[in-house]
Amino acid sequence: MIGPITRMRARVRARRLLVFLAALGPGVIAANAGNDAGGVATYASAGSQFVYRTLFLMVLVTIALIVVQEMSARLGAYTGEGLVSLIREQFSLRLGTFAVVSLLIANLALVISEFAGIGAALELFGISRYLTIPLAALGLWAVVIFASYRYAERVFLVLSVSFLAYPIALILGHPDWGKVATNSVWPHFLASHDFVLLAVALVGTTITPYMQLFQASAVADRGIGPDDYPRERLDTIGGCIFANLISVCIIIATAAAIGGSGPLGSADQAARALEPVVGAGAKTLFAAGLLGASALAAAVVPLSTAYALAEAVGVERSVSRRFAEAPLFLGLFTAQIVLGAAIALIPGNLIDLLINTQILNGLITPIILVFILVLANRRSLLGSAANSPRFRVIATIAVTAVAALALFVTVDAVLGWIGVTSG
């Protein structure tokens, strides 16, 4: 028979699980949205090009992601405002405009790539993108326009379940766990141009500006305040860890299948690469993960842009509002969905588009991160919730490292324009 102590322990564990599940929301959605179509392509390319060598970098990136997302969530909870609204209030008009323009450049390319990812996922089964992309655009638009924030959040969380396809692929792939462990705890970096470019792409797809903007705005939209923040902090940290475990699974699974074979050329090639280790279900697994990832980000990216622009001009912004109550916010979301879906129907090399998009994000990200760091350091804004001296040092190191990688790519691009190769 089950004793009273055993029953009590079971009730305590069940209560803890319910508390954790109840806390799931903006943090999980924002972090998992980073594993979008571009993320899947970039992580798979990391495994196919450099096998397990990028795993130690992913450990560092995970720490940086937790730091950045936690600051974004804290700003949203303690001020009740999104990042762009805070930037508009705390900085000059010129700096605020610069931040918004940087966001628009990065996010427009992302929206296109997310719909391209949806089309590529279902093309693996022979379904034309000219059918799937318009239907997906209509469905995502309807969820946001006609539903409350709570309902839309549930849909986004369900889409996050699709990421479980990648741990399954990892388990079936039987990777070399010894090499996985050594590459995870000790750097095995290469002093090569291609490796550094891919490293920037990994940072760009893992720590993406729209994730921070969505996190803060969604926390404010959900009505999470200082008293609720401990749960939201759990949601944020848990979401970051879960999202990057999925990223690592993609790298390891691809490395086990075709590690060292070079960059990927198409979504079909990425799916077929897993066949030797996963079997006939490789295409289904890859397509499910790519579809869910792309659909989640295809909703979150334009929402983050709409939040940002609505905050910049100080008008109503909430998924729970009707079109008549928030015309600019919901109109911007609609315009991005239509434009992104339309451009995604143009034929092209998906993998190249997605990875280049992540490099662009790697360049834009430091700009947004600097604003977040300065805001989170200000006691005049957050009071006792501002960054502690120790946290400030950690956050500064994380932002500086991301900026250094971005600077490398910028210099490399300029040298390429003037005909000088960096090797």
Q: What is the 3-state secondary structure (H, E, C) of 24-57?
A: CCHHHHHHHHCCCHHHHHHHHHHHHHHCCCCHHH
What token pair was written down for 99?
């931040």
Q: What is the pLDDT of residues 360-371, one digit of tens each?
A: 666 777 888 889
**Is the separation of the CB atoms in 257 and 273 below 8 Å?**
yes
* 40 within some domain: yes
Domain count, the chain: 1
Range(s) of the domain holding residue 93: 26-417
**What's the start-to-end Cα distance of the chain, in Å?**
71
Residue 225 clears pLDDT 70, i.e. is over it = yes
Identity of the residue numbered 19:
V
Q: What is the pLDDT of residue 163?
A: 64
Q: What is the pTM of this model?
A: 0.75
Q: Return the CATH number at 256.
A: 1.20.1740.10
**Residues 227, 265: Cα–Cα separation, whole Å:** 49
Residues near 375 by Cβ (< 8 Å), separated by ≥ 6? 71, 75, 83, 86, 87, 90, 381
* 109 within some domain: yes
What token pair was written down for 226?
């200082």
Residue spans of alpha helices (H) in 314-378: 327-344, 350-377
* 422 within some domain: no
Kindly list the distances between the CA atom of residue 323 and the CA atoms of 146, 299, 408, in Å, as whole numbers in the listed order.
9, 17, 44
Q: What is the pLDDT of residue 391?
A: 92
Residue 54 clears pLDDT 50, i.e. is over it = yes
**Residues 363, 405: Cα–Cα separation, whole Å:** 8
Other beta carbons within 10 angstroms of residue 332's beta carbon come to: 20
Q: What is the pLDDT of residues 237-254, one digit of tens each?
A: 888 888 888 889 889 988
* 78 within some domain: yes
Q: Measuring CA to CA, which residue among 303, 336, 338 is closest to residue 321? A: 303
* 311 within some domain: yes
Residue 5 clears pLDDT 60, i.e. is over it = no
Q: What is the pLDDT of residue 148?
A: 62
Of all residues in the chain, the percent with pLDDT exceeding 90 is 13
Model confidence band, residue 56 (pLDDT cutoffs 50, 70, 90): very high
**Residues 330, 213: Cα–Cα separation, whole Å:** 16
Residue 388 clears pLDDT 70, i.e. is over it = yes
C-alpha angle 107-112-117 in degrees, rounded to nearest 5: 120
**Is the separation of the CB atoms in 33 and 205 below 8 Å?**
no
**Residues 230, 366: Cα–Cα separation, whole Å:** 27
Q: By three-state DSSP, how is residue 66 classified?
A: helix
Q: What is the pLDDT of residue 22?
A: 43
| pLDDT higher at 64 or 420 | 64
DSSP symbol at 1: -
Mean pLDDT of 193-218: 81
In this structure, of 128-132, 296-300, 333-337, 345-349, the range with the lowest mean pLDDT score is 345-349
Residue 135 clears pLDDT 80, i.e. is over it = yes
**Residues 259, 282: Cα–Cα separation, whole Å:** 16
What token pair was written down for 382?
């957050």
Burial class for 379, CB neighbours closer than 10 Å (0-12, 13-18, 19+) = exposed
Identity of the residue numbered 212:
Q
Rg for the chain, CA atoms, rounded: 21
**Residues 252, 262: Cα–Cα separation, whole Å:** 15
Residues near 340 by Cβ (< 8 Å), separated by ≥ 6? 108, 111, 112, 114, 115, 137, 298, 302
Mean pLDDT of 194-223: 80
* 173 within some domain: yes
Compute φ and ψ for 323, nearest 5 degrees.
Answer: -60, -40
Residues near 214 by Cβ (< 8 Å), separated by ≥ 6? 26, 29, 30, 33, 300, 303, 304, 307
Mean pLDDT of 173-182: 87
What token pair was written down for 314?
């100080």
* 256 within some domain: yes
Residue 349 clears pLDDT 60, i.e. is over it = no
Crossing angle for the helix pair 93-123 and 282-313, nearest 10 degrees? Answer: 160
* 225 within some domain: yes
Sort residue 147 into left (φ over 0), alpha (ψ -120 to 50) or beta. Answer: beta
Burial class for 334, CB neighbours closer than 10 Å (0-12, 13-18, 19+) = middle
